[in-house]
């Protein structure tokens, strides 16, 4: 019984993305999504209570696609920046077929603080998943800071991604690489100052 239900929910996400790409986020209603997916409003509502829930469902789908392509063992030659670059580029590859819908949702959230607030938890969960996929800890206060930093980086690179018409997303790759290098420099500085603070005090003479 669970497989048909899961298939119908995937169909609902596909219908939602197509409608948002066509009409914009604000113009789409749950009733329209249900009708396009062949679902009743009550059936759709049991899983997706509102449009932010549909966006969160889409983000989970993207997370799953990225995590599925993550190797079980780490390459000892790769740095954390290398791994994050690979993970985030796989994310943009997964987002690429839905670029119009992604752009519409981002623009709607930029105009509507309440929508941005509603989407924030799902976006943070996605960033935590990306950090973990890159073997970068995402828990505790340092993890929260890393999530916020990666989310800010993602927002900046997404704007380049939305306008990137190259076959290999080379503009997106360049923007991501530049941002990750900057983030790595800041992380190294913070680690340096942190180690200074942790150094033992000299013994009294």
In a domain, 175, yes or no: yes
In a domain, 81, yes or no: yes
User: Does position 77 have pLDDT exceeding 60, yes or no?
Assistant: yes
Q: Is the domain of 103 the same as that of 184?
A: yes
pLDDT 10s digits, 113-156: 999 999 999 999 999 999 999 999 999 999 999 999 999 999 99
Q: Is the domain of 64 the same as that of 30?
A: no
Q: Is the domain of 2 the same as that of 41?
A: yes
Q: Is the domain of 27 the same as that of 75?
A: no
Confidence band for 93, pLDDT divided at 50, 70 and 90: very high
Give the structural domain span for 36: 1-49
Q: Is the domain of 66 the same as that of 167?
A: yes
- The two tokens of residue 54 are 């549909």
CA distances from 123 to 73, 127, 179 (A): 26, 6, 19
CATH number at residue 43: 1.10.10
- Write down the pTM of the prediction: 0.85
Q: Is the domain of 61 the same as that of 40?
A: no
Q: Is the domain of 34 the same as that of 58?
A: no
- The two tokens of residue 77 are 């030659």
Do residues 131 and 137 lie in contact, with contact meaning Cβ atoms separated by under 8 Å?
yes
In a domain, 205, yes or no: no
Q: Is the domain of 45 the same as that of 77?
A: no
In a domain, 197, yes or no: no
**Residue 25 main-chain phi, psi, to 5 deg:** -65, -45
In a domain, 166, yes or no: yes
């Amino acid at each position: 019984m669970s497989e048909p239900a899961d298939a119908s929910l995937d169909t609902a996400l596909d219908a939602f993305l197509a409608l948002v790409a066509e009409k914009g986020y604000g113009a789409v209603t749950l009733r329209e999504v249900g009708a396009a997916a062949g679902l009743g409003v009550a059936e759709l509502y049991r899983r997706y209570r509102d449009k932010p829930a549909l966006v969160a469902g889409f983000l989970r789908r993207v997370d799953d696609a990225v995590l599925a392509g993550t190797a079980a063992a780490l390459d000892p030659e790769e740095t954390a920046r290398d791994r994050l670059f690979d993970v985030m580029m796989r994310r943009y590859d997964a987002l690429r077929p839905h670029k119009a819908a992604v752009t519409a949702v981002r623009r709607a959230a930029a105009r509507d603080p309440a929508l941005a607030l509603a989407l924030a938890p799902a976006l943070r969960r996605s960033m935590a998943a990306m950090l973990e996929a890159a073997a970068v800890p995402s828990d505790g206060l340092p993890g929260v800071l890393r999530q916020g930093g990666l989310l800010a980086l993602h927002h900046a690179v997404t704007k380049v991604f939305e306008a990137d018409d190259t076959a290999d997303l080379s503009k997106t790759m360049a923007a991501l690489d530049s941002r990750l290098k900057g983030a790595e420099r800041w992380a190294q500085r913070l680690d340096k100052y942190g180690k200074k603070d942790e150094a033992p005090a000299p013994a009294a003479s």
